[in-house]
Structure 1
């Protein structure tokens, strides 16, 4: 593990949240999709299952998306803004059989606020460690997704949407075609 468990989980969830929106698609189109996202990424605490909550979470995506396109100073501005607006006050907490980890807002804070603060706290760790280069874009030419490279040697190139497999299949087919011509 390169970072604290909660940092890694928050970074992965932030990238996944950004990737729920793209040209002509929205994977958080309804409250049920948000429920699934919350479950998959293990968000604990208050979850209202409402359209208002869905709109608040969807509104967070563009801010987080900017992080993957920003320089370090702009990422710091985004992180500080998210923490300031949420009145973050970091505290060590244990729950749901998890070891102590940081929460910076109460568990009954709105879901979008908790998502924003968890992402901001995790990004703060990346900034402090000089590891913002771990925030990447998928290398597949037909993909606009973002990713967090948590590999030890910083070698991850593709997102979780199957792009690595598509690239391998394309390379295999190109090699076969070249050897048969």
Structure 2
């Protein structure tokens, strides 16, 4: 583990959220899809399960996507804006058999608020540690998915949508066509 468990979890969840609106189309088409996302990323606390909440979560995605494309001063501005807007007040919390971690808004805050603040807090950790280079765009041609590289050697190049496999197959076919094993 390179970062605190809640930082890694929030980074992975934020990238997954951003990638729900990409080249593959809308991956949060309805409340059921949001429920699946909520469960898959082990969110806790308030969850309204309605169209208003779904829209609020969708509206968060472009703000988070900006972080992956921005230079450090703009990243800091986005993070500070999210924290200020949602009146974040970090506190150490322990719940659901999880070790102590930071929550900066109450568990009964709206889901989109919790997502925004958790992502902002995790990105703030990257800024403080000089690790913004771990936020990348997938290197596969025509893929604009975002990537969080949590590998020790900073070698992750592709998103989770199968781009790494497609790149490997393309390279293999190119080697075969060139007559190399």
Q: Same fold (TM over 0.5)?
A: yes
Alignment of 1:100-111 (within 5 A): 100-111=100-111
Structure 2 CA distance for aligned equivalents of residues 159 and 44 of structure 1 = 25
> Counterpart of 1:120?
120
SS of residue matched to 1:179: coil
Structure 2 CA distance for aligned equivalents of residues 117 and 89 of structure 1 = 10
- Alignment TM-score, normalising by the size of structure 2: 0.97
Q: 2:158 aligned with 1:158, yes or no? A: yes
SS of residue matched to 1:147: strand
In structure 1, list runs of 5 or more residues that go unmatched. Answer: none
> Counterpart of 1:30?
30
CA apart distance, 1:22: 1.5
CA apart distance, 1:23: 4.1
- Segment drifting more, 102-111 vs 167-176: 167-176
Q: Which runs of 4+ in 1 moved over 2 A?
A: none
| CA deviation string 1:19-78 (max 9, x = no partner) | 000247110110000000011111110000000000000000000000011110100000
> Counterpart of 1:144?
144
| CA deviation string 1:149-176 (max 9, x = no partner) | 0001111000011111110011111111
| CA deviation string 1:72-105 (max 9, x = no partner) | 0100000001000111110001111110000000
SS of residue matched to 1:175: helix
> Counterpart of 1:54?
54
> Counterpart of 2:15?
15
In structure 2, list runs of 5 or more residues that go unmatched. Answer: none
Q: 2:134–2:150: 8 Å Cα contact kept in structure 1? A: yes
SS of residue matched to 1:92: strand
Structure 2 CA distance for aligned equivalents of residues 10 and 51 of structure 1 = 23
> Counterpart of 1:3?
3
CA apart distance, 1:136: 0.2
> Counterpart of 1:45?
45
| Count of matched residue positions in the alignment of Structure 1 and Structure 2 | 180
> Counterpart of 1:72?
72
- Alignment TM-score, normalising by the size of structure 1: 0.97
CA apart distance, 1:142: 2.7
